[in-house]
Structure 1
Amino acid sequence: FLKKKLGLTVPDDELDAAIKEVGKAIPGHKQRLTVYYLLAQKFDKLSVFH
């Protein structure tokens, strides 16, 4: 998702860290849409969906 849909070119370890950060920010069950939204927001890529 991060590389294909959002077109990110940052290293994998940075992407993994962002995924872990978002996971910690959402306690309990994580909806895929919410996680995708927060990751897009973190990398300032929400415009991809507008």
Structure 2
Amino acid sequence: MAELLLVSSVLALFGLAFWLTTDSDDDSGGGGMMQPVLVPVRISRSSRR
């Protein structure tokens, strides 16, 4: 039972290390978070209050 726990934890650590070291820049080359896009917002300049 201890061997199974040890093997699964080692595999989980290797998987986590691989996941964290993969290229996840914002260059559209795969995963990672994308940069937000700024959208212009129209502002009415009328003097109604």
TM-score bin (small chain): 0.3 to 0.5
In the superposition, the TM-score normalised over structure 2's length comes to: 0.34
Instruction: Return the index of the structure with the highest Cα Rg.
Output: 2
Which of 1 and 2 has higher RCO (CA within 8 Å, sep 6+)?
1
